[in-house]
């Protein structure tokens, strides 16, 4: 494990999806929704609202062992009539699942599908804002300075609107 190792935080919407990660040792990503950079050394899992008290937080991570492109039907042969059975998915092979001693929480609800970060940020993080890599260094210095005395700062990024809106 090196500070510059890449960590990809991935959304897990349902407890059944996490059970698959635990039991089968892989995570699926539809090819059409896959983020750039599947070559992360680690995957971490952000739980959605259906996880009760564990929702909106990262509790687990695992090393990535590799990935392959296959159909959803190959992943779930017992679901041949599924509407996306013939669509392409990445099957991300995972090493042993590790539980964080302290979860990385979101202080407010966030729509996270994938989030790229680094191993050093991941290890030091206590909340989701700590994971963001993008942003000018000046923004990061302000965020760190505000966080030290316990101020709950939020990072803000401008999202351009598509033309015509």
Q: What is the pLDDT of residues 73-106, one digit of tens each?
A: 999 999 999 999 999 999 999 999 999 999 999 9
- Residue 52, classed as helix, strand or coil, is helix
90 part of a folded domain: yes
Provide the pLDDT for residue 128.
Answer: 92
Top pLDDT among 129 and 83 is at: 83
Number of domains into which the chain is organized: 1
Q: Hunting for tokens 């896959």 — which residue is that?
A: 34
With respect to residue 88, please indicate whether it lies within any of the assigned structural domains.
yes
pLDDT of residue 70: 97
pLDDT-wise least confident of 53-57, 74-78, 149-153, 159-163: 159-163
Q: What is the pLDDT of residue 138?
A: 35
Domain that includes residue 40, residue range: 6-134
73: left (phi over 0), alpha (psi -120 to 50) or beta: alpha
83 occurs within a structural domain: yes
Measured from the Cβ of residue 82, the count of other Cβ atoms closer than 10 Å reads 12
CATH number of the domain encompassing residue 15: 2.30.130.30
pLDDT confidence of residue 139: 44
- Percentage with pLDDT > 90 across the chain: 62
pTM: predicted TM-score of the whole model, two decimal places: 0.79
Rounded to an integer, the average pLDDT of 122-140 is 72
Average predicted confidence (pLDDT) for the chain:
86
Express each pLDDT in 135-156 by its tens digit.
544 345 456 556 667 777 766 6
- Kindly state whether residue 142 falls inside one of the protein's structural domains: no
Cα 111 from Cα 11, distance rounded (Å): 9
Q: Answer whether residue 163 is part of any domain.
A: no
């Amino acid at each position: 494990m090196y500070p510059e190792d890449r960590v990809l935080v991935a959304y897990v919407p349902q407890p059944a999806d996490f059970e698959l990660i635990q039991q089968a040792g892989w995570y699926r990503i539809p090819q059409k929704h896959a983020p750039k950079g599947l070559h992360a050394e680690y995957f971490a899992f952000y739980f959605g609202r259906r996880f009760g008290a564990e929702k909106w937080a990262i509790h687990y991570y695992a090393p990535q062992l590799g990935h392959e492109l296959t159909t959803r039907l190959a992943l779930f042969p017992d679901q041949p009539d599924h509407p996306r059975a013939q669509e392409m998915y990445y099957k991300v092979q995972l090493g042993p699942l590790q539980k964080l001693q302290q979860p990385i929480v979101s202080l407010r609800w966030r729509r996270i599908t994938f989030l790229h970060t680094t191993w050093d940020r991941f290890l030091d993080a206590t909340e989701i804002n700590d994971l963001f890599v993008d942003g000018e260094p000046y923004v990061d210095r302000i965020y760190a300075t505000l966080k030290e005395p316990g101020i709950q700062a939020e990072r803000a990024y401008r999202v351009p609107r598509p033309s015509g809106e």
